[in-house]
Amino acid sequence: MDSNKSKLVITEDETLKQAYQKYSLLKQEVDDWQQERGSYWAKMISLAETPPYLPILGLPSDAIMELWQRLNIVAKAQIPDSDLMVLWEQFKDGRSLTDQELSTRLQMAISGVARLASEMAKEMGLPDPGFGSDNPRDSIFCPVCGEDATVAVLTPPNGYRMMHCNSCNFEWTVKRVGCLYCGSEDSKQQIFLQNEDFPGVEMAVCQVCGQYFKEIDTRKLAVQDYLWEDLRTLPLNFAAENWLAELAKKNNQIQ
């Protein structure tokens, strides 16, 4: 086995099938909303001249409220519009929602609206930031919505690396090798953790800065929905965190 490849131990989640059913139902509603209302709300969107072209908090609130309520109705959890607006203001102030399922539907509503901006950016051919920044970590910030992306995609046929933003669905090119957080290109310090239950998906871990990101090789795995693929493989994230914790413990014992 490649010295830079290590296996992760994963505990299977028994509720995955139920989670996918709920997600698929909500995802279909987002798709329907985009078909029915996307062109209307796209007229309300204006992109900036430089990245981020339209941050999440700059999205039209009424569009988010509209889609959020539709998702609540699908989930049979409709609440008054006035309460939704209060919760939206709470979210904008940086305060998390206590109801996890309501928060998930809000995130899907935000993503559904943000993708209108992403499609607009693609149609306009707006450039991404490239590698011009002195800070390597800038490459993981989405040029459209400014959110921190944690999923990299290796594309066929040559395995070029793209970052995929789960918030707005935009993709941009990043360096093929090295850590996206600290910029280290020391191959001995870059470890790829994998598990046979998730072929084509690895956790790229940098031992220099202790950060990690998920890497999906689409030469090996056909992916229709990167957000669900990220959610489906969350056990890899937890396992990577445990792996790093064990490594830190081991290093401290050696010292």
Same domain as 54, residue 97? yes
Same domain as 201, residue 159? yes
Domain boundary among the residues 66, 93, 124 is at 124
pLDDT at 15: 79
List residues bridging with 153 in a β-sheet. Answer: 162, 216
pLDDT at 128: 62
Q: How far is CA 130 from CA 43, 52, 117, in A?
A: 28, 13, 19
Please list the pLDDT of the chain residue by residue as tens digits (255 residues): 455 776 665 555 557 888 999 999 999 999 999 999 999 999 999 999 999 999 999 999 999 999 999 999 999 999 999 999 999 999 999 999 999 999 999 999 999 999 999 999 999 998 765 545 667 677 899 999 999 999 999 999 999 999 999 999 999 998 888 899 999 999 899 999 999 999 999 999 999 999 999 999 999 999 999 999 999 999 999 999 999 998 888 877 655
Same domain as 138, residue 90? no
Same domain as 154, residue 245? yes
Same domain as 77, residue 35? yes
Domain count, the chain: 2
* Domain range enclosing 204: 5-12+133-254
Same domain as 109, residue 49? yes
pLDDT at 216: 97
Domain boundary among the residues 90, 124, 158 is at 124
Same domain as 102, residue 59? yes
Taking each helix axis from N to C end, the angle separating 100-124 and 61-74, rounded to the nearest 10 degrees, works out to 130
Written as one string, the DSSP assignment of the chain is --TTEEEPP-PPPTTHHHHHHHHHHHHHHHHHHHHHHHHHHHTT----SSSSSS-GGGS-HHHHHHHHHHHHHHTT----HHHHHHHHHHHHTTPPPS-HHHHHHHHHHHHHHHHHHHHHHHHHTPPP-TT--SSGGGGGB-TTT--B--EEEEETTTTEEEEE-TTT--EEE--SSS-TTT----GGGEEEEE-TTSTTEEEEEETTT--EEEEEETTT---S-HHHHHHHTHHHHHHHHHHHHHHHHHHHHH-
Record the pTM: 0.88
pLDDT at 131: 46
pLDDT at 10: 54
Distance of alpha carbon 185 from alpha carbon 72, whole angstroms: 46
Same domain as 143, residue 104? no
pLDDT at 222: 93
Domain boundary among the residues 106, 124, 142 is at 124
Residue at 56: amino acid letter: I
